[in-house]
């Protein structure tokens, strides 16, 4: 495993960067653009995005990087005295908590609640308003933690 560790760190850095870039785009221009639409249009667009995002490529980037992080935690603990072990452990834990866990605990339930409302109703508009603040806040967390994890992985390699 220790021979494979640099390769896994490199892959985790790339995966964290890709995931962070996707979430960065949502935080900085996708969600602000959707917020400019009438509630029914914003809800319809976001529900469509939430369906189309479930692709093997994106799921591999998001959750595959998380699986690699589990191996990296083990590698960091097994080689704790080695240079970069602290950075490796920090990056893996930050990514796991900030991306797969935040996604499943916060963003996915918000997506499910949005999918369950009638976009044209007053309740739909209220859910959309809350969604825009809550979902985007958690997306900022995912963006920041993915970028920080990437930086930690890079530090672990140098």
Q: Please, what sign has the CA dihedral across residues 129, 134, 140, 142?
A: negative
82-112 pLDDT, tens digit per residue, is 999 999 999 999 999 999 999 999 999 999 9
122-145 pLDDT, tens digit per residue, is 999 999 999 999 999 999 999 999
Mean pLDDT of the 54-63 span: 98
What is the model's pLDDT at position 21?
A: 98
38: pLDDT confidence band, cut at 50, 70 and 90? very high
Mean pLDDT of the 68-95 span: 97
> What do you get for the CA distance between the two ends of the chain, in Å?
19
CB 96 within 8 A of CB 71: no
- Per the structure block, which two tokens stand in for 136? 């985007």
With CA atoms as reference, report the closest residue to 31 among 148, 129, 151: 129
pTM of the entire structure? 0.95
How does DSSP classify residue 124?
A: H
């Amino acid at each position: 495993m220790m021979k494979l560790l640099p390769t896994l760190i490199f892959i985790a850095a790339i995966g964290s960067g890709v995931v962070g870039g996707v979430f960065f785009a949502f935080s900085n221009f996708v969600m602000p653009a959707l917020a400019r639409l009438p509630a029914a249009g914003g809800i319809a667009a976001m529900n469509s995005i939430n369906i189309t995002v479930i692709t093997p490529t994106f799921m591999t980037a998001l959750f595959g990087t998380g699986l690699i992080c589990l191996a990296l935690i083990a590698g960091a603990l097994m080689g704790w005295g080695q240079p970069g072990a602290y950075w490796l452990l920090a990056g893996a834990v930050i990514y796991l908590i900030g991306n797969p866990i935040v996604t499943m605990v916060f963003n996915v339930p918000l997506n499910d609640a949005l999918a369950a409302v009638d976009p044209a109703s007053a309740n739909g508009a209220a859910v959309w308003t809350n969604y825009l603040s809550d979902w985007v806040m958690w997306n900022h967390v995912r963006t920041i933690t993915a970028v920080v994890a990437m930086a930690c992985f890079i530090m672990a390699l140098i």
